[in-house]
A and B are shown apart, each in its own frame.
Chain A
Amino acid sequence: MSTTDADETRPVEDPRGDDDAWPNGRQLRSLTRDATDAHTGGSYFEVISEVYSVVFSAAIALAIALGAVQGLNATLTPGPEVHTLDPTWLAVVTTLIVAGAIVGLAGRIGPVGMGGGQAVWWLPTPADRRGLLRPRSVLVPIMGAAVGAAGGLLIGFLALGEPGPALGSIVVLSTLGGAALALAAAAGQVQLGNKRARRVRPAALIGDILMAAGPVLGLAVVFVRPPPLMMPTGTVAVVAIAVLAVLVVALLVRVDTGLNAISGRELRARGAVSAYAAGAVTSMDTRELGRALSGSTAPDQRRRSARMAWVRGPVSAIVTGDALVLSRSPRHLIQIVVAASLALMALLAGWPTWVNVTTLLLGGYLAAMATAESARRAEMAPVLDRFFPISAFDVRRVRIILPGVIMVLWSAGVFAVWGATHGNLPGWIALGVIAAPTFAAGVVRAAYRKPPDWTKPLVTGPMGPVPPGVLLAFARGPDLVVICLIPTLIALIAFGPTFVLVWLQAATSAIAFAIATHVKDEKKPSMMERATEAQKAAGPR
């Protein structure tokens, strides 16, 4: 018998020794925290200072929002119009949107995950998952409650217009509701556990549906005009609060006892998404945040492949790819419908012209953004634009086709309603159709923008220091829409769709198209390419 064979037959001694000698999850967290503190040298005063800054900024932002909402309540008091939207119903619409945002966000980022170094160093250890994950599971209801409380304040002021006992009930209810929704998403994650994940994460889908239901309900209320809602007070409020409190505690226990069931793969995947999203928030890059949240939510998506027999050449290939990406993304389809509902709701509710114009602009841009997912992905992975025998200039022009077609249909519908309520229906439809490519050009320009530039010196303003490079990055896309829609804005606010304004809009739409399809002569590697290069240079072979 060879030495090797002898080694193989010898019982392997467990090098770990006694299990009790190993730190549990809580001890491991403590050890890591102590080691980190020893190296970073941060003082408690710095932490207090940062917390103070965040809380103070949030309080000021909330106070400003509350003032605006209170003013909105006074403006929206029902008038003699045929169609109107009572503030109490608008509060319900807002509640659905806030609830959808909480559930959808919680479903996409985890809510319980572990990324970066912690996933690499902690998950392979024998330490119990529950001990490792408990701070994150506690943070989930706290974040949900914080969003719920802020939303409750806004909703309460919107519905009531002034402080009072009913406002207190609404705030407490929405605080508990926010915590319950976030915990419900976490409980769903625990429920999935090690099972093969379904095609779509339920929490993300439910969140999207809730967000879509808000504006659609608002539109329905405008037509039906139901009586104002009674706000919960007295016994009803107390019972509702008690029920929600019990639900929160029950969900908290369910999540806490089920933490060990969440698989390492699931924790890593959710941790990666939250780390990506956190990085995008820190760098104030909304495009990156969208990418982080629109990443695949299912590990094994399968579907029947389309034959694509209609594709002939690069143009139809690119347009077909763009259309498939849009048609297979329920979130983006919902976004288009929600944007139309928003614009129509404001228009039909008899609100002031400036509110209608603002919601039309916002709705149009929101809808157009949903159609440009392929362009945003091509910016991140430029190879997608180089796959086909077509010049870079032409690729950019082709990428506008799908957003352009969708926005022509969207604008025709919304401007038709505008025409029906303001007269001169054909003129408004013509103006809407001609203005539509501007929205498409704006989102394609935004899709191909550079990441925010933080290297430029900060500019001091009344609201504090402002990074100009970041503002310029955010403005790229919306700037084109606002400037090139000036003829339409003048028509909406003052003169209607006159012959001159329609022609002017045609000219500015052409300018928008030309600007959005301009390709600079740049051969610098993308962020992903640079990261890959650095990794390859550093990695061992």
Chain B
Amino acid sequence: MAKKQTTAPMIRADKVSVGYGSDIASAVCPPITVNMKPGEGLAVVGANGTGKSTFLRAVAGLLDVLGGQIDVFGRPVDERARRFRADVAIVLDEDSYLPALTVREHLLLTARGHGMERVSELVTEIIEEFGLTARQQAAPTALSSGQRRRLLLASAFVRPRRLMVLDEPEQRLDSGMRDRLAERLAAERKSGGGVVMATHDPVLVRVVATRAVLLGEDEVRVVSPEVAAQAIEAM
């Protein structure tokens, strides 16, 4: 018997206000309403300071919303819960690693910690895909900032996940790696996973996203990827 396909939203944001203050007046953008189903890619687009990363932090459960409600997989966001951590792979814009462990050890530990099979082969594949083969025995402190970014992105692909939350994944990557990442994320979406990302890269939006949230100072619009990509190019 075939597994029942669910069309329930992965993310349901209902009039969500986000910001770093304590009340609605400190919201950094107008309220956001958007749903995202499995197999969709949602790009969050806007100029600097319009709240892209802040919204992603709220989706990732790292920031309380000032108003409205965000549900992920049908439940209010709680990043402290085991199930949330098992389902959602998060890569934000921060360097997070243990300096004593090598690149390969970080990925081995992540994969084994998530109970993956064929871990050694899987890690070797991912390391190759992200162009880290020559540096796999190095400590993260010895990597360039772009290589550290690749390591963080690789750690999201070496584990099981249903939803990926990525904050400007294109940052510090060369153009070849950006293209490969776009293809990888598109494949992720097509295989039924969800991808929500804040980005300034029109190519990433066109290849990965199926819809986009365009954040402005006065209004928030849900638009097509093409409109969002053009908006980025016009910024």
Residue positions of A touching B, CB distance < 8 A:
295-296, 298-308, 311-314, 316-318, 320-321, 324-325, 328-329, 374, 377, 381-384, 386-394, 519, 521, 523-525, 528-530, 532-533, 536-541
Contacts and interface: CB of A to CB of B under 8 A. Distances in A.
B100 interface: yes
B144 to A, nearest CB: 11
B86 A383 contact: no
Contact of A311 (B61, B64, B113, B235): B113
11 contacts: A300-B142, A303-B137, A312-B112, A321-B109, A383-B92, A384-B96, A387-B113, A389-B114, A390-B85, A525-B63, A536-B93
Given A303-B102, A393-B80, A539 B94 contact: no
Contacts, number: 144
Contact of A302 (B98, B139, B235): B139
Contacts of A389: 82-83, 85-86, 113-115
A325 B100 contact: yes
B108 A305 contact: yes
Most B CB within 10 A of own CB, among A302, A308, A394: A308
B220 interface: no
B129 interface: no
B49 interface: yes
B173 interface: no
- Rank and list the top 4 A-B pairs by shortest CB-CB distance, nearest first: A317-B113, A389-B86, A392-B80, A383-B96
B94 A314 contact: no
Contacts of A312: 112, 115
A366 to B, nearest CB: 20
A387 B94 contact: no
Contacts of B113: 311, 313-314, 316-318, 387-389
Nearest to B63: A523
Contacts of A295: 99
Contacts of B53: 533, 536
Contact of B80 (A307, A324, A519): A519
Given A320-B109, A536-B53, 9 more contacts: A306-B108, A311-B109, A381-B95, A392-B79, A394-B82, A525-B57, A525-B63, A537-B49, A541-B235
Most B CB within 10 A of own CB, among A302, A388, A390, A392: A388
A308 B109 contact: yes
A243 to B, nearest CB: 40
Contacts of A536: 48, 53, 93
B141 A523 contact: no
Interface of B: 20, 48-49, 53-54, 57, 61-64, 79-83, 85-86, 90, 92-102, 104-105, 108-110, 112-115, 120, 136-139, 141-142, 155, 200, 235
B86 A523 contact: no
Given A325-B100, A541-B48, A541-B200, A391 B85 contact: yes
A328 B100 contact: yes
Contacts of B95: 381
A524 B115 CA distance: 30
A391 B82 contact: yes
Contacts of B235: 541
Given A314-B113, A383-B94, A305 B136 contact: yes
Contacts of B112: 308, 311-313, 316-317
A305 B107 CA distance: 11
A296 B99 contact: yes
Contact of B155 (A305, A387, A392): A387
Given A317-B113, A329-B100, A381-B96, A388 B85 contact: yes
Contacts of B120: 307
A89 B93 CA distance: 53
A301 B139 contact: yes
A324 B93 CA distance: 26
Given A525-B20, A537-B48, A308 B105 contact: yes
A329 B112 CA distance: 24
Contacts of B100: 324-325, 328-329
A312 B141 CA distance: 27
Nearest to A373: B100
Given A307-B108, A536-B48, A386 B98 contact: no
A383 B86 CA distance: 13
Nearest to A328: B100
A266 to B, nearest CB: 15
Contact of A304 (B61, B137, B139): B137
